[in-house]
Amino acid sequence: MYTVKPFTINVQQTVLDDLQHRLRNTRWPDAPANIGWQYGTDPVFLQSLVAYWQNGYDWRKQEAALNKFPQFTVEIDSVTIHFLHIKSKSSNAKPLLLLHGWPDCFYRYIKVIPLLTDYDLVIPSIPGFGFSGHVAKTDDGSAKIFATLMKDVLGYDTFFSAGGDIGQGITKSLANLYPENVPAIHLSDVGYPNGSEDWSKMSKAEQEFGQIIQQWWFKEGAYSLLHATKPQTQAYGLNDSPAGLAAWIIEKFNSWRTQEDGIENHFTKDELLTNIMIYWVTQTINSSMRSYAVDNAQELASARKVNTPTGVAIFPGDAPTPKEWAERRVNVKRFSKMEKGGHFAALETPELWAKEVDTFFKEQLTK
């Protein structure tokens, strides 16, 4: 028996007052002149963001906007799970589970809620993230929790699932562990070559993709190795310094977006800060990073090829996945190279992402 409780975000004022104190007393590091994003987060942009955080950003306004959506918590396998549940007015609505990754949260999908009105939307905070419990789970562990949420708590015998980043791993686990309950999935990435593949059996496009990913890991992948091996060490600083937390998260939003013009042409300061605030007020940066460590060196269902019908949308700001690689990992029924958007496409280019996801699942319903 599961007890679902209505949930309202209501951060204590003492937390917000303490945040302002920490922002005012940020001890800024030195930086080379005009370095931009070359060595990581641009110091000029970060200082402007922190100044706005202190003097312009209104958490209570963002909190009220989030609370317009029906939110709930339920305990599953001793883990508190926070989720949004937006029911469609359509009598033929299909349930759709939307799963985020790192360093975003359920907020990734806020903009697509009004665009997917033909679905009953379930948008949870992954274990270890946001307003869910501070317990890091593997892809399979989260998949089991979300299968319970959808089937036993909400009463959906079958449901679609879509996700990216950690959310794609959980979605693949759901498809492999519960094929009778998950008739189709949609992904914005399918995983990447890790060097264990037999390159002689890979196409030229796959081999080139593998080389790109290898170069990317050398240039951009240090964060993932740190999360997978020493997350506790970073957590002390990131949980203590809001400017440090912002720097760690913002760098990814900048690097993983459509690479044209500046970051604020893709995400507003309010959007960036609201995502950061959810990490700050819940103190989940450590447990979210720990998700990498618990997944490390595990035999997971998410690593197996998915036979469930799958839609794949590859956005230009993300890894340039070839169709052949996607077909190696999942049962591709729709493969689209998108014109704009990046790793956080549902937040960066919500109309494009929502239209693509909606088109794919409706194609599956007609088969």
- 292, 295, 318, 358: the active-site residue: 292
To the nearest 10°, the Cα dihedral for 278, 281, 282, 288? 60
Phi first, then psi, for residue 48 (nearest 5°) are -70, -35
Distance CA 258, CA 256 (A): 7
List Cα–Cα distances, 51 to 20, 55, 273, in angstroms: 11, 6, 12
Distance of alpha carbon 43 from alpha carbon 20, whole angstroms = 19
d(CA 139, CA 46): 33
Let me know if 292 is a catalytic residue.
yes
CA distances from 75 to 5, 149, 193, 199, 288 (A): 9, 9, 36, 45, 18
d(CA 301, CA 133): 23
Q: Which region, left, alpha or beta, applies to residue 6 given φ > 0 means left and ψ of -120 to 50 means alpha?
A: beta
Total Cβ atoms within 10 A of residue 63: 17
Indicate if 165 belongs to the active site.
Answer: yes
Which member of 120, 139, 140, 165 is catalytic?
Answer: 165
Cis peptide, bond prior to residue 103, ω within 30 of zero: yes
CA angle (357 as vertex; 179, 7 as ends), nearest 5: 80
- Strand arrangement, sheet containing 330-337: 5-7, 71-76, 79-86, 119-124, 94-99, 160-163, 185-187, 306-314, 330-337
Q: Which of 57, 120, 343, 358 is catalytic?
A: 343
Phi, psi of 15 (to 5 degrees): -65, -40
Give the CA angle between residues 338, 342, 346 to the nearest 5°: 85
Q: Which residues are catalytic?
A: 165, 292, 343
